[in-house]
Amino acid sequence: MYYAYKYRLKPSGTHREELDRHRDICRQLYNHTLYRLNEYQENHGELPSMTTLRSELPDLKKWWDGLSDVYSKVLQTVVERLFDNLKGLSKLKENGYGVGHLKWKPPREFRSFTYSQSGFKLDKKGGQTVLSLSKLADIPIRLHRAIPDDATLKQVTVKKEPTGEWFATFGVEMDREPPAPPENPEKCVGIDVGILKYAHDTDGTAVGSLDLSDERERLEREQRKLSRKQHGSANYEKQRRRVAECHANLKRKRRDFLHKLSNYYVREYDLVAVEDLNVKGMMESPPNSRNTASAAWRTFLTLLEYKCDREGTHFVAVNPRGTTKECAACGVSTEKPLWVREHSCPACGFEADRDANAAWNILSRGLEDVGVGYSESTSSESQGDSDGLRKSLRDFRTPVETALPVDTPVSAKRVLEAGSPILKDRTASAVSE
């Protein structure tokens, strides 16, 4: 199992200069390697191998002042980075996208470099934890959470954010297998994501969307100030960092909310069913594209998926077509404009919140996808009967108390913390079993 642990670095002024110097040398090497790649293709009619270009590094050090100051593994990862970008372009081309060519990297677009396998370690010096980077420095690091004892550090990527802050991201390998999902999931949940209510599930809980209006207003205010500065001046650079800090603040708050919400669902349930949304296509709709982008549904689904794999929870992404229109009780489709927030079936009379109805449909499809479904007798009893429908679906999991009525939204601030005792107790009991 592979994980990434990200920590903030606390470099001094001298450290920052060295980090920027190493970063710029790596950027120049990237551009030089791209030039050599194009030159080799013109002379030989084909792309060179990664081994061919990496073998040129020792000769480059003889005439390139400063290249020897950078650890050899870091230089090799720069060449690997170029070929990774080429593979990414090839995949896009295979999928029918129109792609161009790789371009030279300006300083603002090359922000990181990587130590792979060796040349780095965590150490204690002067009463504080430092990240020792070969041929660079011992940089203080803020370890806000411990790396597990059974973890092996494979690599570390040092990155400079647009705000000027430096972070270190460790690639960690753990010699353990994730728990297998249960064959007969008991606690199952269907989740319908939205904008007015971020998540509405089949247990009757509606989580309100995160309110970032104040942060957006501040960002717009700082952007207007930036537009009045002379480009390239000291005041412009100072204001640019303020804008970058606003962007970073928005991103941190949104990801914090999504991490807590996804953690809750993954650890509390055996099966999580969601819609396989085409978020990119939805964002092409101009009237609501900003709200769609702000909701970050794709990020939420990605977090849910990898955490389900880690915790041994079924993750099912179902076809979203018709989940809102279809009646959860009888299956009859009814056209509903977006402003209609209640579902009322003209065929069977089943009435429910629009999002609650969609959540039940999502769960029903998810159970079918994993081979779990209710019997014909139960299904026939539930036709036209909302109570029968809910009973037939809940027969497949241990009954749980609904914390709030369906029409009562939960504030985003009430989402459980990732380290909540409730979640810890459940995880500990699952491990002991």
Of residues 138, 159, 181, 154, the one with CA closest to residue 11: 138
Mean confidence (pLDDT) of the chain: 81
With contact defined as beta carbons under 8 Å apart, do 365 and 189 qualify? no
Quickly list H helices, 269-395. 279-282, 289-295, 297-311, 354-369, 376-382, 386-394
Other beta carbons less than 10 A from residue 224's beta carbon: 9
Give the whole-angstrom CA distance, residue 29 versus residue 21.
12
The pLDDT tens digits of the residues spanning 371-389 come to 765 433 333 333 333 344 4
Pairing of strands 314-318, 271-275: parallel
Largest CA distance in the chain: 82
Q: Are 262 and 299 in contact (CB under 8 A)?
A: no
* Residue 8 or 393, more confident: 8
State how far the Cα of 369 lies from the Cα of 273, in Å rounded to an integer.
Answer: 10
Handedness of CA 60, 65, 68, 69 (dihedral sign): negative
Residues in the chain: 433
Q: Average pLDDT, stretch 129-140?
A: 94
Query: CB–CB of 24/107 below 8 Å?
Result: yes
Which residue has better confidence, 153 or 283? 153
In the prediction, which pLDDT does 95 show? Answer: 78
- Cβ–Cβ under 8 Å, residues 25 and 69: yes
Q: Which of 267, 255, 265, 278 is nearest to 201 (CA)?
A: 265
SS3 429: helix
pLDDT digits (tens, 9 = 90+) for 198-241: 888 888 888 888 888 899 999 999 999 999 999 989 999 999 99
Sorted by sequence, the CB contacts under 8 Å of residue 120 that are 6+ apart come out as 131, 132, 133, 134, 153, 156
Would the pLDDT of 337 be above 80?
no
* Mean pLDDT within 142-162: 91
Spatial neighbors of 253 by CB under 8 A, at least 6 apart, are 210, 212, 215
Q: What mean pLDDT do residues 71-75 have? A: 94
Closest by Cα among 178, 251, 174, 169 to 4? 169
Q: How far apart are CA 136 and CA 73, in angstroms?
A: 13
**pTM strictly above 0.85:** no
pLDDT surpassing 70 at residue 298: yes
Of the ranges 81-95, 105-119, 372-386, 409-423, which one carries the lowest mean pLDDT score? 372-386
Looking at the predicted structure, is the pLDDT value of residue 299 above 60? Answer: yes
Task: Please check the confidence at residue 430 and state whether its pLDDT lies above 70.
Answer: no
Asked whether the predicted pLDDT for residue 135 surpasses 50, the reply is yes
Which comes out higher in pLDDT, residue 176 or 160?
160
- What interhelical angle do 297-311 and 234-268 show, nearest 10? 50
| 3 vs 124: CA distance, rounded Å | 23
188, β-bridge pairs: 271
Sign of CA pseudo-dihedral 143, 147, 152, 158: negative
User: Distance (Å, rounded) from C-alpha 120 to C-alpha 131?
Assistant: 7
Q: Which of 19-28, 61-70, 398-407 has the lowest mean pLDDT?
A: 398-407
- State mean pLDDT over 16-24: 96
Q: What is the pLDDT of residue 129?
A: 93
- Which region among 171-175, 189-193, 257-261, 331-335 has the lowest average model confidence (pLDDT)? 331-335
Measure the CA–CA gap between 323 and 34, rounded to whole angstroms.
Answer: 48
Is 90 exceeded by the pLDDT of residue 424? no
Task: State how far the Cα of 6 lies from the Cα of 255, in Å rounded to an integer.
Answer: 14
Beta strands in 309-373 (DSSP E): 314-318, 342-344, 351-353
The residue ranking higher by pLDDT, 417 or 176, is 176
pLDDT above 70 (res 426):
no
- What token pair was written down for 250? 């928005």
The answer to whether the CB of 109 falls within 8 A of the CB of 90 is: no
Give Cα separations from 314 to 101, 268, 298, 304, 332 (angstroms): 40, 12, 18, 10, 28
Q: What percent of the chain has pLDDT over 70?
A: 84
Q: Taking residues 321-341, what's their average pLDDT? A: 79
Q: What is the pLDDT of residue 286?
A: 63
For position 303, what pLDDT does the model report? 92
Residue that wins the pLDDT comparison between 326 and 381 = 326
pLDDT at position 390: 44
Rounded mean pLDDT of 13-21? 95
pLDDT value at residue 373: 52
User: How many angstroms separate the CA atoms of 433 and 431, rounded?
Assistant: 5
Lowest-confidence region among 2-6, 99-103, 266-270: 99-103
